[in-house]
Amino acid sequence: MIYPEMIYPDMENKAISQNPATEQIIAEHNYENIESALSKISKLKESFLKWRRTPIEERVEVIRKIGQDLRSNCKDYAKLITEEMGKVFKEAVAEVEKCAFACEYFAEKSPEFLKPEYVKTDAEESYIEFDPLGVILAIMPWNFPFWQVIRCAVPAIAAGNVIALKHSPNTFLCAKTLEKIFNRYLDMPILLNLFLKVEDIKHIIPIVDGVSLTGSVRAGESVGELAGKNIKPIVLELGGSDPFIIFEDADLNLAIETAIKSRMTNCGQVCIAAKRFFVSDRIYDKFLKGVISKVEKLKIGNPLDDVDLGPLARRDLLENAFRIIRESNGKLIYGGRKIGDIGFFMQPTIIVDADINSAVFKEETFAPIMPISVFKTDDQAIELANKSDFGLGATIFTKNIQRAKEIAKYIEAGNIAVNRILRSDPRLPFGGVKKSGVGRELSRYGILEFVNIKSISIDH
């Protein structure tokens, strides 16, 4: 994930919401001082004392109402996402709908997930409780400005925690909207925004009770160091450079369609997106020809219109994409150029024969760039897939399911899809290994990240 605080020098004293399709400034927001942020933390600590004592049935009812709000106002929220960070409108609608589904899922399942577990021991009665920790600092990025917050905050709040949200500065209007949604049904705040500069986070981590960050490796290192120094539980989701492996017996048309969708969704700005494509030498030429023919037909333009790709979210991301293309030392087969004078649009890009040690393979490429390479054997495919500092996800295409399961055992990743697009799902744990982070979000595993797993033994 690109570091959420990559901003221009002239934005140092305020957050800027800029429409990346038109480059118009939508809104500005001054950063708050430490005293203001500390006051919000105090309010959240007061709320926590009440919220943790609120019966789980009442807590999940609030979450259910949040989900209903998201569904009822889906198109309005989607339009805000599109205008603030450039996501194609139909994809923004899908993002909000996914948020609503997550609320519905955790509203239904949280009582079961948090139910005490009874264990037979030499005590007359033994059980395990799952108690909330307190105020959780959520440091969230811009690329899925609603979903990233929902998938972190909803399980934590269901468990009885409250959230201090440090959102990305270029999506602060989404952050303000989310704060209203979460607090609409209570007489106390359970989520408050901290409009702080990145350097001020060091004052917050020592006084909260847990930290969840989705961001870059650099951000993870800094936040992880502070959390470790202050003995705070932490979840880090630091992005990925996911391999997409196509074997010779794959359904080629489905593999091509899925590869393009996985790489081009949100203009390539997805942590779990496929970013490195490895194709069997037996079908390499057919795959490449098929990808080019379909990429050529992608519609690019105003994300509020019926298009396939909108702009990148910021100018610096566009400039970084072109740096990665230049440094790839590969053959540019298609695209690779800026589109128009206004907006942060670029052509979808296909590169072959890139240097396996170049940025296009080593970094998390947040842009619609497809580097395609060839492999000959299963072992070589595994070796290429694992040749990365990241380990978030991977995709395998083959009709031999037993082969896929065997390959999957040796892929170093937290999430693997076979013959389908890889995406996060509230019902499954989400997270990675290596420099993709630590801990898990979503599912029962995610809800247990920010609880005290307390063992109780009793003799009557």
Q: What is the pLDDT of residue 13?
A: 82
Amino acid residing at 84: E
In single-letter form, the type of residue at position 83 comes to: E
What pLDDT is attached to residue 4?
A: 36
Spatial distance between the Cα atoms of 203 and 206, rounded to a whole number of angstroms: 7
Q: Can you list the domains of the chain with their CATH numbers?
A: 9-238+436-458 (3.40.605.10), 242-425 (3.40.309.10)
Sheet holding 242-246, edge to edge: 331-334, 349-352, 369-375, 274-280, 242-246, 393-397, 415-418
Give Cα separations from 249 to 15, 19, 419 (angstroms): 50, 44, 11
pLDDT of residue 11: 52
pLDDT in tens, 39-73: 999 999 999 999 999 999 999 999 999 999 999 99
Distance separating alpha carbons of residues 78 and 90, to the nearest angstrom: 8
d(CA 295, CA 444): 38
Q: Please tell me the predicted confidence (pLDDT) of residue 288.
A: 98
Average pLDDT, the chain: 96
Q: Strands 349-352 and 331-334: what pairing?
A: antiparallel
Cα–Cα distance, 164 to 156 (Å, whole number): 11
Task: Spell out the residues 6+ positions from residue 96 whose beta carbon is closer than 8 angstroms to its own.
Answer: 70, 71, 74, 77, 78, 81, 146
Give which of 291, 327, 296 is closest to 309, Cα–Cα: 296
> Is residue 315 a contact partner of residue 308, using CB atoms and an 8 Å limit?
no
pLDDT recorded at residue 12: 65
Report the alpha-carbon distance of residue 145 to residue 322 in Å, rounded.
24
Look at residue 7 in the predicted model and tell me its pLDDT: 37
What is the pTM assigned to this prediction? 0.96
pLDDT of residue 8: 39
Specify the DSSP class assigned to residue 10.
G
Q: State the pLDDT at residue 345.
A: 98
Q: Please give the positions annotated as active site.
A: 237, 271
Successive 10-residue mean pLDDT values, the chain, 460 residues? 37 86 96 97 98 98 98 98 98 98 98 98 98 98 98 98 98 98 98 96 98 97 97 97 98 98 98 98 98 98 98 97 96 97 98 95 97 98 98 98 98 98 98 98 98 98
Nearest by Cα to 268 from 219, 217, 308, 301? 308
Phi, psi of 27 (to 5 degrees): -160, 160
Please state, in angstroms and rounded to a whole number, the distance separating the CA atoms of residues 28 and 17. 6
